[in-house]
Every structure is written in C-alpha cells, then in structure tokens.
Structure 1
Amino acid sequence: MTKDELPYRRNVGAAVFNRAGEVFLGRRKKRRGGMELVAGHEWQMPQGGIDEGEAPLEAARRELFEETNISHVALLAEAPDWLSYDLPPEALAGRWKGRYRGQTQKWFAFRFEGDDSEIDIDRPGGGAFEPEFEAWRWAPLETLPGLIVSFKRPVYEAVVAAFKNLIARP
C-alpha cells in the first residue's frame, strides 16, 4: 500500500484561551512519534486520538486533561471542518507503524476557567498519564503557525483563521 492509499488517523485538538485571550501551548518532549523535533518548532496545542465510540468533543476534553491536567473549561467553538496533515516520510514507520498517512483533526476552542495552578504537565490527568510536554506557556493565537513543525503548519493556520474572532480585542 502506498502512502497515498493509507487512511488518516482521526484526532482532536484543543485551543484553550486564558482570560487575556492567549492560547495554551506545550513544548513537546525532545523525541516523540519516531521523529526528531526541530528546535523552535516543538510547540503545539493539546491534541490526540479519538477512541472507538467516542465523540470528538468528548475526546478533546479527555485529551486536554490527559496532557495538561486542565478540566475547568467551557466550550467556545468548534472548527467547521476536519483538518488533515500528512506525516513526513521519515515519520511514517514511527509511532503508528505505517498504518496511517497522517491525521485528520477536529478542533475545539475552550475558555480556561481555572487557575494556572491547575495546569500540571509533569503529572497530567492527576498523574495517570505519561507527560507529553516538557514546558508550557500562554501565547498569542496568531504566533502559533511559526512555532509548529512545518508539516502541521497549514492546519495551525486554519485553526487560527477559525478561532481568531473569539479573542476579545481592546
């Protein structure tokens, strides 16, 4: 089977906005998913796979908790379309062992209603999950495409376009 014949893995993403209108970003651990990360482009929003029988919104809330420990959020919006990206050739045999060509994602925007002390990337999900991130920060939404690996950049540009009107401007 060629790469173009492989299916996309169904996935969700969570854009979490704080009270200042900035979005949560996590810096991925140095090596994940069978590929090296590019310095300066290892930041991303929480995302992850959809379990069998799970609704995308339910998966987004679960993944957010499993990666960041964040549970106090309110849904703001859902991106209108599924957004897809292909993995680079060197990553195809990695984490998913050549079963998928990339991911197709449904993105959700949430307002963070907790306190920053709720965020715990070292013991995500109350310590039940292996940490995905080694650092985190809040950043302006429009800066995201410049902080992500190049093969995910078009998806992040679409997420910015979908959610940019959610940010309260002075």
Structure 2
Amino acid sequence: MTDPSDLPYRPCAGVMLLNREGKVFVGQRLDNVLEAWQMPQGGIDPGEDAQAAATRELWEETGVTADKVSLIAEAPEELYYDLPPEMIGKVWKGKYRGQRQRWFLFRFDGTDSDIRIDTPHPEFRAWRWAEPADLPALIVPFKQQLYRDVLHAFAAHLDLPG
C-alpha cells in the first residue's frame, strides 16, 4: 500500500455563499449518510483559474449562476485537509491524500428560488442557510479544522460571536 504522505493533495475550490441575512449556504451530500452539511466545493480542472472553478462548482452543485453572486473576498492562502486513513485509497481513485483548497466568499444576490440542487449531476439531497459560527459543527469531523480556517480567513466579513 502507498504511504499516504507520498500522495499529493487534490487542487480544489470552495465557496462560502452568504445571503443578505449573513447566513451561509450548506447542503447535505447525496453520497453521505451522516447528518453532515457542507459548503459547495470541488476540483479545479487542469489549466482552470481557481475563481472560475469556484463559480463553476457553485453552479454545478446549487444551480446558482455567476450573475447571481458578487465576490467579497478570497482566502489569502490555500487551506488543506487530510482524509481519514480509512478513506485514503477509496476516494478519488486513491490518487490523493486530501485537498488543497482556494476559498472564495461570495454574496448571494439572487433569491432562494434561484437555488436548484436538482442539477444534471446532483450532489446535495437538501440545503439550508446556516449561521457561520455553526459551520464547524455541521461538517464531517475530519473537515472541522478546515471550516474553522475558512471562518478565520473571512472573519472580517462575517458576523461572528466574539
């Protein structure tokens, strides 16, 4: 078996989508039986710009088009997470140990009716708006630190309890 530390990180883009009330879009993945909720995110294609990947993933996962969002901020550095040992070799055909992610904070300029998770290749079975401070408690445990890092990166733009 390959030593996980020999595997690279999968390049990825993530989106924190903030509505007018300061809440964040989260969805429940179709392929996960846990009560976990996550923000839209996905791989960056070879040669693709990270922000372009973020808006593409947002559209693919939520049906929200680029004209319905405005960029507020980009995280100043890449954020990382490692897969749990039992998932390495099963996820992404065993090619990666985790993800290195570029995160973008977008303001949602549309209405809830613009959100359509019944996309051609659906990833979510349900969605809702969540308080930013609740995000680490909503995500799968191995991504909790990542979500704390995302909150820290965008703290100046969020209404977080002191």
Any gaps of 5 or more consecutive residues in structure 1?
32-36
Q: CA deviation at 1:146?
A: 0.3
Aligned residues: 157
Correspondent of 1:60 among 39, 51, 54: 54
Equivalent position of 1:80 in the other structure? 76
CA distance in 2, matches of 1:93, 1:143: 30
Equivalent position of 2:139 in the other structure? 148
Equivalent residues of 1:27, 1:134 under 8 A apart: yes
Equivalent position of 2:8 in the other structure? 7
Q: CA deviation at 1:85?
A: 0.7
What residue identity is the alignment partner of 2:25? F
CA distance in 2, matches of 1:84, 1:163: 16
Q: Matches of residues 97-116 of structure 1 in structure 2 within 5 Å?
A: 97-116=93-112
What residue identity is the alignment partner of 2:137? G
What residue identity is the alignment partner of 1:51? D
What residue identity is the alignment partner of 1:64? L
Residues 110-156 of structure 1, C-alpha deviations (whole Å, 9 max, x = no match): 0000111010001x2xxxx3110000000110100000111111110
CA distance in 1, matches of 2:41, 2:31: 17
Residues 41-86 of structure 1, C-alpha deviations (whole Å, 9 max, x = no match): x100000000011000000000000000011100000001101111
RMSD over aligned CA atoms reads 1.3
Give structure 1 regions of 4+ aligned residues with deviation exceeding 2 angstroms.
none
- 1:69 to 2:63 alignment: yes
Equivalent residues of 1:26, 1:135 under 8 A apart: yes
- 1:95 to 2:91 alignment: yes
Equivalent position of 1:158 in the other structure? 149
Q: TM-score, normalised by structure 1?
A: 0.88
Equivalent residues of 1:86, 1:101 under 8 A apart: yes
